[in-house]
């Protein structure tokens, strides 16, 4: 596998397959294919040319075969000797037609149209959440009405958005928000944040400071909203971010510019897996598989992970959280690895190792605290929501976790809230309803809004952590804004895990195949 990955990496640099995003003229395509056929047979140019010839052969044959068949029939007809034809003719007497009855004039009666057929309204199964204290919330721009599936511009290739990512489709976001408690107000905050993140993207497609991690987090916020390179407003932003990640992955599968503990790697793996799930671009899959290989090889026999995906006896719950999210995204997106399912099962034991008997998850051992949200969410993602450690952890969060911006919970509240919001969403029921009433309006009220600051005159917005000592590795507002935005996208980012229970101990598939939705995107 390593040899194949090295060949793929060489191919990436000799011929960037992300040129699938680019639009070449017909003359440029022909010249590119002819030059490629003359190149070395092991080169990327030659493989690209062969691929294009194979793609073009089917339509060419479909045109030429009928033409050749007609030509052959004409040739055979011309070679056949002419023979005189004899036709017998019979003369019959002329028969006079019978007289037809006179046609009565029709009355000018109006034609009644058929009764209209009632169609099922595409409305949520549950009403939109009632927003209280609206006067305390900032003025909110309402996001555009979700488009129909066939309304995506510049369509080139169909993609199936499967199972738990299906709600990101344009026609499903509004329905999901209504079902799970979102509103036009929360969506307005999301749109402002996406425009702010777009404005902070650098010319090379990355975000500062820790480029691999921040670029991946920012990309995840756009993907969570269902944005792809085909999107009208954010398409170029998404495309440049994907390009940067792929171009900055080295031969080993790591990413240039990573942080000291290399949180960047599992976060980048997570983003690439989701990018492939929404685009199906082959080069993204190759990069994601190469990154996934490092995550799986770095897993300890205990099921946990440590900094830099190194083999040690230290199981770091915070680092493990990103590794598990990467594994789940790989499974959802169809990223292939022979040990992926085994790694997910083993990861349950890694989380259980750091669980507290009375409920909660610790940093590197059985403790209670802010990282409990990490442990609960990961076990939900791994199909172990009914395990005692997960249930007791959720009970601890119900008692201890709060969402008050001016009285933040723990030393790293934004980081903790990112996990708690998702964990409670996947728990559902009253647990989610109570949390949703706390967190949503608190986030909206505390977003810093920049009126008319976008290039098109629309509002932008961002967040700054309420905890001055929260560790962000110098990434500050970019990281805070990404994590807050992902929380407000929770309504449609994934289907809740409680709607598609899978018993991992029975070796059932970890990904639901329900609710497949076909959409069209540009690649």
Looking at residue 339, which CATH number applies to its domain? 1.50.10.20
Query: What pLDDT score was predicted for residue 496?
Result: 84
- Mean pLDDT, the chain, integer: 79
Write the DSSP symbol of residue 500: S
Count of structural domains within the chain: 2
- Residues 505, 404 within the same domain: yes
- Rounded distance, CA 329 to CA 165, Å? 10
- Residues 340, 430 within the same domain: yes
Please determine, for residue 293, whether its predicted confidence score (pLDDT) is greater than 70: yes
- Examine residue 117 and state whether it is found in any structural domain, yes or no: no
Query: What pLDDT score was predicted for residue 99?
Result: 52
- Residues 18, 167 within the same domain: no
- Residues 44, 187 within the same domain: no
Go through the chain and tell me how many residues it has. Answer: 523
Average pLDDT rounded to a whole number, residues 224-253:
97
Query: What pLDDT score was predicted for residue 166?
Result: 65
- Examine residue 124 and state whether it is found in any structural domain, yes or no: no
- Examine residue 15 and state whether it is found in any structural domain, yes or no: yes
- Examine residue 91 and state whether it is found in any structural domain, yes or no: no
- Examine residue 95 and state whether it is found in any structural domain, yes or no: no
Q: Dihedrals φ, ψ of 517, to 5°? A: -130, 125
For residue range 61-119, list pLDDT tens digits in order. 667 767 777 777 767 666 655 555 454 545 545 555 455 444 444 344 443 433 333 32
Average pLDDT rounded to a whole number, residues 345-361:
98
- Residues 493, 403 within the same domain: yes
- pTM of this structure: 0.70
Write the DSSP symbol of residue 358: T
- Out of 20-24, 44-48, 187-191, 267-271, which region has the weakest mean confidence (pLDDT)? 20-24
pLDDT band with cut points at 50, 70 and 90 for residue 256: very high
- Residues 34, 164 within the same domain: no
What percentage of residues in the chain have a pLDDT greater than 70?
Answer: 68
Inter-residue contact 188 to 488 (CB < 8 Å): no
Given 27, 43, 65, the domain boundary residue is 65
- Residues 59, 138 within the same domain: no
- Residues 338, 255 within the same domain: yes
CA distances 353 to 50, 343, 369, 370, 376, Å, are: 52, 15, 15, 17, 13
Query: What pLDDT score was predicted for residue 495?
Result: 82
Average pLDDT rounded to a whole number, residues 446-467:
97
- Examine residue 120 and state whether it is found in any structural domain, yes or no: no
- Out of 346-360, 463-477, 506-520, which region has the weakest mean confidence (pLDDT)? 506-520
- Rounded distance, CA 493 to CA 145, Å? 17
- Residues 166, 252 within the same domain: yes
Given 44, 65, 86, the domain boundary residue is 65
- Residues 34, 148 within the same domain: no
Please determine, for residue 354, whether its predicted confidence score (pLDDT) is greater than 50: yes
Residues of the domain holding 167: 134-521
- Residues 27, 172 within the same domain: no
- Examine residue 235 and state whether it is found in any structural domain, yes or no: yes
Task: Please compute, for residue 198, the number of CA atoms within 13 A of its CA located in the half-sphere on the CB side.
Answer: 24
Strand pairing of 460-462 and 448-450?
antiparallel
Given 38, 65, 92, the domain boundary residue is 65
- Residues 341, 474 within the same domain: yes
């Amino acid at each position: 596998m390593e040899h194949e990955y090295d060949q793929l990496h060489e191919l990436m640099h000799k011929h960037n397959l992300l040129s699938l995003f680019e639009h070449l003229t017909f003359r440029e395509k022909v010249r590119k294919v002819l030059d490629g056929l003359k190149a070395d047979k092991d080169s990327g140019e030659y493989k690209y040319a062969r691929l294009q010839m194979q793609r073009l052969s089917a339509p060419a044959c479909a045109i030429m075969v009928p033409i050749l068949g007609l030509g052959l029939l004409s040739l055979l007809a011309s070679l056949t000797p002419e023979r005189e034809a004899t036709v017998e003719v019979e003369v019959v007497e002329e028969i006079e037609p019978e007289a037809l009855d006179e046609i009565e004039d029709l009355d000018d009666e109006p034609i009644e149209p058929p009764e209209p057929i009632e169609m099922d309204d595409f409305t949520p199964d549950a009403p939109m959440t009632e927003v209280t204290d609206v006067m305390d919330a900032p003025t909110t721009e309402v996001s555009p009405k979700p488009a129909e599936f066939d309304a995506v511009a510049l369509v080139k290739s169909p993609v199936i958005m499967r199972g738990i990512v299906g709600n990101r489709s344009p026609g499903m976001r509004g329905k999901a928000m209504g079902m799970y408690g979102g509103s036009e107000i929360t969506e307005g905050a999301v749109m402002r944040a996406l425009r702010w993140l777009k404005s902070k993207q650098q010319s090379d497609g990355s975000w500062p400071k820790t480029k691999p991690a921040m670029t991946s987090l920012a990309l995840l916020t756009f993907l969570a909203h269902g944005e792809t390179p085909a999107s009208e407003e954010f398409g170029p932003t998404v495309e440049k971010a994907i390009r940067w990640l792929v171009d900055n992955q080295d031969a080993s599968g790591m990413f240039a510019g990573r942080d000291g503990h290399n949180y960047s790697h599992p976060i980048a793996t997570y983003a690439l897996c989701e990018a492939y799930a929404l685009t199906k671009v082959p080069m993204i899959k190759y990069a994601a598989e190469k990154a996934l290989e490092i995550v799986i090889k770095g897993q300890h026999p205990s099921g946990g992970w440590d900094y830099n995906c190194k083999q040690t006896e230290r199981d770091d719950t915070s680092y493990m959280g990103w590794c598990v999210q990467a594994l789940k995204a790989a499974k959802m997106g169809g990223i292939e690895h022979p040990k992926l399912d085994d790694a997910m099962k083993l990861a349950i034991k890694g989380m259980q190792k750091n669980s507290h008997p009375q409920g909660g998850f610790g940093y590197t051992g059985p403790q209670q605290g802010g990282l409990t949200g990490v442990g609960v969410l990961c076990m939900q993602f791994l199909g172990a929501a009914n395990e005692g450690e997960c249930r007791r952890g959720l009970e601890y969060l119900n008692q201890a976790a709060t969402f008050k911006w001016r009285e933040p919970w723990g030393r790293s509240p934004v980081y903790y809230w990112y996990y708690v919001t998702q964990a409670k969403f996947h728990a559902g029921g009253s647990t989610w309803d109570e949390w949703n009433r706390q967190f949503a309006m608190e986030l909206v009220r505390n977003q810093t809004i920049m009126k008319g600051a976008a290039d098109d005159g629309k509002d932008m917005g961002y967040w700054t952590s309420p905890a001055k000592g929260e560790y962000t590795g110098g990434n500050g507002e970019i990281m805070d804004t990404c994590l807050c935005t992902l929380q407000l996208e929770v309504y449609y980012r994934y289907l809740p895990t409680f709607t598609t229970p899978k018993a991992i101990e029975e070796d059932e598939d970890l990904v639901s195949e329900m609710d497949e939705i076909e959409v069209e995107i540009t690649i």
